[in-house]
Amino acid sequence: MKRRVFSGVQPTGDLHLGNYLGAIRNFVRLQNDSECLYCVVDLHAVTVWQEPMKLAANTREVAAAFLAAGINPTNSIIFNQSQVSAHAELAWVFNCVSRVGWLNRMTQFKEKAGKRRENASTGLYVYPNLMAADILTYKATHVPVGEDQKQHLELTRDIAIKFNNDFGIDFFPIVEPLIFGEATRVMSLRDGTNKMSKSDPSDYSRINLTDSPDAIAQKIRKAKTDPEALPGPAALINEGKEIDPDQEKARPEAFNLLSIYAALSEQSLVSVLGQFEGAQFSSFKNKLVDLSVEKLGPIGNEMQRLMADPGYVDGVLKDGAMRANTIAEPILKEAHKILGFLST
Ligand code: TYM
């Protein structure tokens, strides 16, 4: 049997290079040998305030990005979360399986709630339980994500293990995170110690997938660097697989830009370091601009075209929701039976 892959992206606007290299591009690659479900997670988005009109447009934007990046809506299932009620229903069950102590450890909640913790929505607090429900309502086994979602997937594993143990049954699979590629954690262009993020107030911190070639060029040219020439392969450890943490700490922006180049050019970081060893940032940036425009330009154009055709995008989402529901319903029913819920 093909393995079943599930992943989700929030429709919170400004999809960026990190979303693409850390997640969406990998979604495309997994289609060939896996049964894939890719979800626009609108229920997750409303854990913080969303303007309704914008949420609808952003939902279509994520769906358009999936399609423009190369996800085939016939082979894979593209849909939005709120159209399949099993997600919310199983999330309630998981609210009762998951422990307060587990959620208290979630770093993303701490970051997002910040000092205004008492004022955060309770949805934001139980957000990871809904993520577990997204995945397990399809009994998905593999989840492609960027590095920042690792802790949430560990919680998904804990929830599945506890559910199985509590009821003495081998029902939910223990999911495997798929975190791969040369850019699993793309950093801000303005500060290499911060993650590239939709919520960064500076648009210059990220390359948005819908940016024009001029905007991409400007952002890369203005990206923060340091005064040294570019490092070479000696900066890597573990047989060229990992950046030496001390060197990365000293030059986060350099390694971020080099990793972006490696990911976009589909080369290993070690070979990119070999190519640019001793080069100045100015000449490297010119190459990075050309490469970024070449790779991202067609995706941005296709996204714009699709977003101008909401009827088509909505049709893809509707068809996806129907197919997703067909998989989710029987699994949810079985879960109800295990729990002792009476059915009609
Ligand atoms: P979201 O919407 O924040 O991000 C979508 C995907 O993009 C990845 N990502 C990055 N990768 C590399 N570098 C970055 N700077 C970067 N920023 C974002 C994220 O890791 C993610 O894979 N909670 C999830 C959505 C979700 C989900 C799920 C994911 C809901 N249910 C079930 C997997 C399975 C989120 O907020 O992603």
Residue with the smallest CA separation from ligand 1 atom 7 is 19
Three-state SS string over the chain comes to CCEEEEEEECCCCCCEHHHHHHHHHHHHHHCCCEEEEEEECHHHHCCCCCCHHHHHHHHHHHHHHHHHHCCCCCCCEEEEHHHCCHHHHHHHHHHHHCCHHHHHCCHHHHHHHHHHHHHCCHHHHHHHHHHHHHHHCCCCCEEECCHHHHHHHHHHHHHHHHHHHHHCCCCCCCCEEECCCCCCCCECCCCCCCECCCCCCCHHHCCECCCCHHHHHHHHHHCCCCCCCCCCHHHEECCCCEECHHHHHHCHHHHHHHHHHHHHHCCCHHHHHHHHCCCCHHHHHHHHHHHHHHHHHHHHHHHHHHHCCHHHHHHHHHHHHHHHHHHHHHHHHHHHHHHCCCCC
Q: Is any ligand 1 atom within 6 A of the Cβ of residue 135?
A: yes
Q: Is 132 in the pocket of ligand 1 (CB under 6 A)?
A: no
**Atom 37, ligand 1: residue with shortest CA distance:** 9
Using a 6 Å cutoff on CB, does residue 22 contact ligand 1? yes
Residue 9 Cβ contacting ligand 1 at under 6 Å: yes
Domain-by-domain residue ranges, the chain? 4-183+309-339, 203-306
CA of 26 to the centre of ligand 1 (A): 12
- Residue 59 near ligand 1, beta carbon < 6 Å: no
Tokens of 113: 């709630």
Ligand 1 centroid–CA 156 distance in Å is 15
> Crossing angle, helix 86-97 and helix 122-136, to 10 degrees?
110
pLDDT values of the chain reduced to their tens digit, one per residue, 344 residues: 679 999 999 999 999 999 999 999 999 999 999 999 999 999 999 999 999 999 999 999 999 999 999 999 999 999 999 999 999 999 999 999 999 999 999 999 999 999 899 999 999 999 999 999 999 999 999 999 999 999 999 999 999 999 999 999 999 999 999 999 999 999 999 999 999 999 999 999 999 999 999 999 999 999 999 999 999 999 999 988 889 999 999 999 999 999 999 999 999 999 999 999 999 999 999 999 999 999 999 999 999 999 999 999 999 999 999 999 999 999 999 999 999 999 87
- Whether 196 is in the pocket of ligand 1, judged by its Cβ within 6 Å, is yes
248 lines ligand 1 (CB under 6 A): no
| 291, 264 Cβ separation under 8 angstroms | yes
Amino acid in position 75: N
Tell me, in angstroms, the distance from the centre of ligand 1 to residue 229's CA: 33
Residues 6+ apart with CB under 8 A from 309: none
Q: Give the Å distance between the CA of 334 and the centre of ligand 1.
A: 29
Structure tokens at 102: 């587990």
Asked whether 66 and 36 are in contact (CB, 8 A), the reply is: no
Residues with active-site annotation: 112, 195, 198
Distance of CA 62 from the midpoint of ligand 1 (Å): 12
Ligand 1 center to 243 CA (angstroms): 23
The answer to whether domain 4-183+309-339 and domain 203-306 are alike in fold is no
The residues that bridge with 16 in the sheet, in sequence order, are 208
Q: Count of residues for the chain?
A: 344
User: Whose C-alpha lies nearest to ligand 1, atom 14?
Assistant: 18
Mutate to test the pocket of ligand 1, among 10, 19, 184 (most ligand atoms within 8 A of CB): 19
What is the Å distance from ligand 1's center to 147 Cα?
8
What integer pLDDT is reported at residue 1 of this predicted model? 65
Which of 145, 151, 195, 259 best tests ligand 1's pocket when mutated (most atoms within 8 Å of CB)? Answer: 145
Give the domain 203-306 fold.
Answer: Tyrosyl-Transfer RNA Synthetase (1.10.240)
Q: How many CB atoms lie within 10 A of CB 180?
A: 11
φ and ψ of 291, to 5 deg: -65, -45
Residue 61's pLDDT is what? 98
Is this model's pTM higher than 0.75 or not? yes
What is the number of alpha carbons within 13 Å of residue 251 lying toward its C-beta? 19
Q: Which pLDDT does position 168 carry in this prediction?
A: 98
Note the pLDDT of residue 239. 87
In ligand 1, which atom is closest to the CA atom of 9? 2
| Integer Cα distance of 101 and 222 in angstroms | 43
**Ligand 1, from 9, 156, 208: best to mutate by most atoms within 8 Å of Cβ?**
9
| Superfamily of 4-183+309-339 according to CATH | HUPs (3.40.50.620)
